[in-house]
Structure 1
Amino acid sequence: MTNIRALIAEDEPLLAMALAGALQRLWPELAIVAVAENGIAAVQKALEERPDVLFLDIKMPGQSGLEAAQELADVWAQGPQDGTQTQPFPLVVFVTAYDEYALAAFEQAAADYVCKPVSDDRLTRTVERLKDRLQARLHKPQEDERSGGSELERLLGQLHSLLPGAGTTGMAGTTAPQRLSLIRAAVGNQVRMIPIEDVVYFEATDKYVTVTTQEGESLIRTSLKELLPQLDPERFWQIHRGTVVNNRCIAAAVRDEAGKISLRLHDRSDTLTVSRVFAHLFRQM
């Protein structure tokens, strides 16, 4: 198997160098096409290089490995800017310092993991698994693997629920924060008290989050990442990296000819776009 290309995202240069060196020893045919120092750079370089494998540190400044994978999944299907055919979404290997957490998160997931410090024995098993899965892709229709498919959706769905900050217990000792019952939001020079059940959806806008109700829009000075753990996941669904919707306000999910899903809301004319990462929320029962 030749011409396999990989990207490493790791904010500690010595660890990135060590991982690259180990991969060169254990998988000489693998080409390391880029090393990114954080999740934001990883997304940019992955879209430029279109690698076959991603080694993503879970905990990075600015954007975690999971967040980087989610963003990549959102835009990967658009294809390279040169107009060439879209290739399957890269196989993902997460690098973590939390051994027990990794075991729980990845036992049934569509990704592999290695723990810091990375051992040759563990990395050898990962390399063999990657080779097997890359070989298997050669026998699958390109349509099924385009932009990741259900394999990626399953992976990100599992990790989204298990990572700290996702609204559930993640690593040992991490507990979910208290649920919000009231939103204090700015409207002009006033502060509105909005019962959480009145919120139709939240939408990230730069450093703020817009709170949309049937009465209008308000702003809160918090990030969506900080807000998510305080919302009831049974009622509020993240449908895009920048959008969370009250599922009781959804009238219908509409899939277009390209397979993209948009939501129609009760008593509203606006529609919301669903990222393919979260499309599994709207599969028929």
Structure 2
Amino acid sequence: MHERTGPTAVIAEDEPVLARTLRRLLEQAWPELQILAMAEDGLQATELALAHAPDIMFLDIKMPGRNGLEVAETVADEWPEQAAEPLFVFVTAYDAYAVSAFERAAVDYILKPATPERLAQTVDRLKARLGQRAPQPREGEMAQVMQRMQSMGEAPQLPRERIKVIRAGVGNTVRMIPVTDVICFEATEKYVNVVTAGGEALVRMSLRELMASIDSADFMQVHRSVLVNTHAILSATREENGQYSLNLRGLERPLKVSRAFSHLFRPM
């Protein structure tokens, strides 16, 4: 396995000639970019993404097995919570999917055939987005960081008292929600949606911060962005694609379980 010295990418394109052309253009436009793998269909693209954890994915829209939009959704669904998701760029012959692509937080949407000039714009956007990400400690460095913090008396402290009531906003109103009344927590980009039988409200914090602040013994993670009160789970239904959806007490809509947590609901 090659040592990573720069940004990395996976290309998914079912037409070999176009795949090789895109790779060549990227190598010219961005020599530092490492192409880790190339997928010939959507299923392989998903597997390679989860195996290699690239910084960027270049996805065709129409591919066998799973289209590019489905690949992006599945990868984001199963991506480890502590890691930054890949940046998605869709390269396709069809402009009808642009809205759906940007709904999935696409960095760019390129119509085939990609040209050097157009790809240069994409590279600039990707570099800007990657530059906004805070650097993470490399593997093996975290323990050293913690040791230094402890020696300096700066080790992170656990909350002295767990939050029992959540102050969540609904417009100009602040709801006082007992943690025991929460059906589930759903993370969005900047907030966590607190779902109860009486409605939904927002708190301005990450799901990880919230999990560290409450007594999470009665909650279980069923998706990288969803935490569910185990006492609210009535049943789990297996869908045709092998994934599960939960029927929760007090919630009319089903709640999706990601593949990474599906094993929690398989019959004993």
Q: 246, 250, 253: which one pairs with 1:252?
A: 250
Match of residue 236 from structure 1: none
Deviation digits for residues 191-230 of structure 1 (CA, Å, limit 9, x no counterpart): xxxxxxxxx99642xxxx4xxxxxxxxxxxxxx6xxxxxx
Matched residues in 2 for 1:139 and 1:50: separation? 16
Residue 70 of structure 1: how far off its partner (Å): 2.1
Partner residue, 1:127:
123
8 Å CA contact retained: 2:69, 2:101: no
- Could you tell me which of 83, 88, 97 is aligned with 1:87? 83
Deviation string 1:228-261 (CA, Å, 9 cap, x unpaired) is: xxxxxxxxxxxxx83567xxx75336xxxxxxxx
Structure having the higher Rg = 2
Partner residue in 2 for 1:99 = 95
For 1:274 and 1:107, how far apart are their aligned partners in 2? 23
Tell me the SS of whatever aligns to 2:250. Answer: strand
The reply to whether residue 110 of structure 1 matches residue 105 of structure 2 is yes
1:51-70 matches, within 5 Å, as 51-70=54-73
Q: How many residues align?
A: 161
Distance in 2 of aligned mates of 1:32 and 1:6:
5
**Percent of aligned pairs sharing the same letter:** 47
SS of alignment partner, residue 14 of structure 2: coil
Cα separation, 1, equivalents of 2:76 and 2:102: 21
Q: Letter of the aligned partner of 1:96 in structure 2?
A: T
**Are the equivalent residues in 2 in contact too, given 1:251–1:264 (CA < 8 A)?**
no
What SS class does the counterpart of residue 65 from structure 2 fall into?
coil
Any unmatched runs of 5+ in structure 1? 79-85, 142-148, 152-199, 210-223, 225-240, 254-262, 266-271, 277-285
Give the CA deviation at 1:106.
Answer: 4.6
Letter of the 2:35 partner, please give it.
I
Q: State the superposition RMSD in angstroms.
A: 3.4
Structure 2: state its 5+ residue gaps.
138-186, 190-234, 260-268
Map 1:1-285 to 2 at 5 A: 3-77=6-80, 86-102=82-98, 104-106=99-101, 110-111=105-106, 112-138=108-134, 150=188, 203-204=238-239, 209=240, 242-243=243-244, 250-252=248-250, 273-275=256-258
Calculate the TM-score normalised by the size of structure 2.
0.51
Runs of 4+, deviation exceeding 6 Å: none
Letter in 2 for 1:15: L
TM-score norm. by structure 1 comes to 0.48
